[in-house]
A and B are shown apart, each in its own frame.
Chain A
Amino acid sequence: MTITFAREEIQQTIKMIHEENLDIRTITMGISLLDCVAEDINSLERKIYDKVTKKASHLVTVGEQISSRYGIPIINKRVSVTPIAIAAAHLSSEGMVRIAKALDRAAKTLGINFIGGFSALVQKGFTEGDLALIDAIPQALSETNFVCSSVNIGTTKAGINMDAVKRMGEVILNCAQKTSAQDGIGAAKLVVFCNAPEDNPFMAGAFHGVGEPDCVINVGVSGPGVVAKVVKEFPDADFGELSNLIKQTAFKITRMGELIGRAASKALQVPFGIVDLSLAPTPAIGDSVAEILENMGLERCGTHGTTAALAMLNDAVKKGGAMASSHVGGLSGAFIPVSEDAGMVKAVEVGALDLDKLEAMTCVCSVGLDMIAVPGDVSSETISAIIADEAAIGMINKKTTAVRIIPAIGKKAGERVEFGGLLGGAPVMNVHPFSSKTFINRGGRIPAPITSLSN
């Protein structure tokens, strides 16, 4: 046995892990609840709790074992389930809250940090179950700790359900009001999607799609710090070279995800689904997507040129990552959450980055307006209009877009909200003062777009 790696290769890997925050962001086990369906709510609750706790019983231990064995941090172990509006379609909204609490108990038993799938897919219209679930979201999220919720309100093939958009504006506001003592954290656990992926391992938007197998392991990698470092090391590289450097780095990051995903799949005897090759920032210094963009030569993230920089970054990450894994899926792209990224927070604080620029940036990256605090006196119609804009970008560009926005109850633009942990904290950002009420109140559906004549 001889050393088959170059000294530089070994040192590069060690630096990535120990100095540049390379880690596995999440191992998420997707679990189908379709076989738990039961008329009686007591047995439905029991069946869901039993299936989740049985299937994922070893998830945390195996995650820790793999982390120890490879010496790679695995930050989160999570579970996603079949959208509850499908698995429990016959329940009333009180019943939906009970199911959320059953999921919360299961998450607590397992020792995972989030369980996603308190979800509904309503792009074309509502079932009774969808309506009951959506009504239950504010109470469910305020009375549970681990449950995450998502609602898909549009797709490129179906158009945008504007009745759902209107309703979700009210639900988000209500979530924030119900959890105002914790700076509206309820709204931070709720994502409104257009073109939601069915195999996303990242929270709060993870759910286990109906086309998925009974149980599956999906892995989300991270590594903005590693990319930021590479970009910084080559200040004179032109965009072709820079793109190549990012591709090579993304390849290496994604290989980690592939290795860990395969190991977890084997140890848990559950099929390996996908690696989500997103660049997911954390509030930690040096783990920021904004920093990558600034290292490309922008004085502050949000200034002119930011959209181009992000487009290039996002594309290079996908190109590098796609070759590194047998199956890539989920959201796969650069995330630009504000509160979870120290560089984004700084950019907002100095006035370089506003909501409009963030919206423009979401046209060229994954995922959408994410972890943005807005003034607490915002109207539900304004939130709905923000959702509609974001969904339109996703629908027209055939990509996933999402809105996770937190009305900061009792706070004005410039004040701060704090969620703690991976969710971080953020300054409250301005929204436009002009009303969108009449527009939102029209209701109905925005038709699916034509896909030829593509200008």
Chain B
Amino acid sequence: MTMIREESGRAIITVIGRDQIGIIAWVATKLAEYNVNILDISQTILKEFFTMIMVVDLKSATLELVELANSLEQEGLTKGLQVKVQHEDIFTYMHRI
């Protein structure tokens, strides 16, 4: 089986939803569980609306990007949070010439 070589092992996680205590703690705990390393976090509150953008490294992750995305997305919904995970290359290709 031909394995795909990673261009970059980084992904961008976005979390959007009503502000509540423990959002970052929840995401960070989940990521630690899957051995995903957090590289950077940027977070703001706009009119009680929480938005967070996180850069993570998936190199030593114990699961595929899509599995991580599904896991966070589903658990996020129960907390009223919209969580998306996309590979960093997508943003590089789209927004950088």
Q: How long is the Cα–Cα vector from A258 to B93 in the complex, in angstroms?
A: 8
Contact of A9 among B10, B57, B95 (CB under 8 A): B95
Interface string of A42-62 (1 = CB under 8 A from B): 000000000000000010011
Residues of A within 8 A of B53 (CB): 3, 7, 10
Contact between B1 and A71, CB atoms less than 8 A apart: no
Q: How long is the Cα–Cα vector from A62 to B93 in the complex, in angstroms?
A: 20
A435 within 8 A of B: no
A17, closest chain B residue (CB):
B86
B37, closest chain A residue (CB):
A1
Contact between B94 and A69, CB atoms less than 8 A apart: no
A451 within 8 A of B: no
Q: What's the minimum C-beta distance from B42 to chain A, rounded to whole angstroms?
A: 5
Q: How long is the Cα–Cα vector from A58 to B93 in the complex, in angstroms?
A: 25
B3, closest chain A residue (CB):
A267
Interface string of A247-266 (1 = CB under 8 A from B): 00000100110110001001
Chain B, interface SS category: mixed
Contact of A267 among B2, B66, B90 (CB under 8 A): B2
Contact between A252 and B2, CB atoms less than 8 A apart: no
A13 within 8 A of B: yes
Contact between A255 and B94, CB atoms less than 8 A apart: yes
Q: How long is the Cα–Cα vector from A70 to B5 in the complex, in angstroms?
A: 13
Residues of B within 8 A of A14 (CB): 14, 84, 86
Interface string of A277-293 (1 = CB under 8 A from B): 00000000000000000
Contact between B2 and A58, CB atoms less than 8 A apart: yes
**With A10-B14, A18-B84, A62-B2 given, is the CB distance from A72 to B39 under 8 Å?**
no
From 65 to 98 in chain A, residues with beta carbon under 8 angstroms from any chain B beta carbon are: 65-72
From 2 to 29 in chain A, residues with beta carbon under 8 angstroms from any chain B beta carbon are: 2-3, 5-7, 9-11, 13-14, 17-18
B31 within 8 A of A: no
Counting chain B CB atoms within 10 Å of each CB, which of A9, A10, A18, A65 scores highest? A10
Contact of B85 among A71, A267, A268, A269 (CB under 8 A): A71
Give the number of chain A interface residues (Cβ < 8 Å): 34
Contact between B64 and A68, CB atoms less than 8 A apart: yes
A16, closest chain B residue (CB):
B94
Contact between A3 and B5, CB atoms less than 8 A apart: no
Q: How long is the Cα–Cα vector from A10 to B51 in the complex, in angstroms?
A: 12
Q: What's the minimum C-beta distance from B83 to chain A, rounded to whole angstroms?
A: 10
Contact between A70 and B87, CB atoms less than 8 A apart: yes
Contact between B93 and A266, CB atoms less than 8 A apart: no
Contact between A68 and B65, CB atoms less than 8 A apart: yes
Contact between B90 and A259, CB atoms less than 8 A apart: yes
Contact between A9 and B91, CB atoms less than 8 A apart: yes
Q: How long is the Cα–Cα vector from A267 to B39 in the complex, in angstroms?
A: 27
A1, closest chain B residue (CB):
B39
Q: How long is the Cα–Cα vector from A259 to B94 in the complex, in angstroms?
A: 9
Residues of A within 8 A of B36 (CB): none
Counting chain A CB atoms within 10 Å of each CB, which of B2, B3, B7 scores highest? B2
B4 within 8 A of A: yes
B40 within 8 A of A: yes
Contact between B65 and A255, CB atoms less than 8 A apart: no
Contact of B87 among A1, A62, A71, A255 (CB under 8 A): A71
B19 within 8 A of A: no
Interface string of B54-97 (1 = CB under 8 A from A): 01010000001111010000000000000011110111011100
Q: What's the minimum C-beta distance from A246 to chain B, rounded to whole angstroms?
A: 15
Contact between A7 and B89, CB atoms less than 8 A apart: no
Q: How long is the Cα–Cα vector from A267 to B5 in the complex, in angstroms?
A: 7
**With A3-B53, A9-B95, A17-B86 given, is the CB distance from A69 to B39 under 8 Å?**
no
Q: What's the minimum C-beta distance from B68 to chain A, rounded to whole angstroms?
A: 9
Contact between B2 and A259, CB atoms less than 8 A apart: no
Contact between B93 and A259, CB atoms less than 8 A apart: yes
Contact of B65 among A18, A62, A71 (CB under 8 A): A71
**With A3-B40, A10-B12 given, is the CB distance from A70 to B65 under 8 Å?**
yes
Q: What's the minimum C-beta distance from B97 to chain A, rounded to whole angstroms?
A: 8
Q: What's the minimum C-beta distance from B44 to chain A, rounded to whole angstroms?
A: 8
Ranked 8 nearest A-B pairs via Cβ: A68-B66, A1-B39, A255-B93, A259-B93, A70-B87, A252-B94, A9-B95, A267-B4
Using a CB–CB distance below 8 Å, which chain A residues touch chain B? 1-3, 5-7, 9-11, 13-14, 17-18, 58, 61-62, 65-72, 252, 255-256, 258-259, 263, 266-269
Using a CB–CB distance below 8 Å, which chain B residues touch chain A? 1-7, 10, 12, 14, 39-40, 42, 51, 53, 55, 57, 64-67, 69, 84-87, 89-91, 93-95
Q: List 9 A-B contacts (CB under 8 A).
A: A1-B10, A13-B91, A13-B95, A58-B1, A62-B4, A68-B64, A70-B87, A71-B87, A255-B94
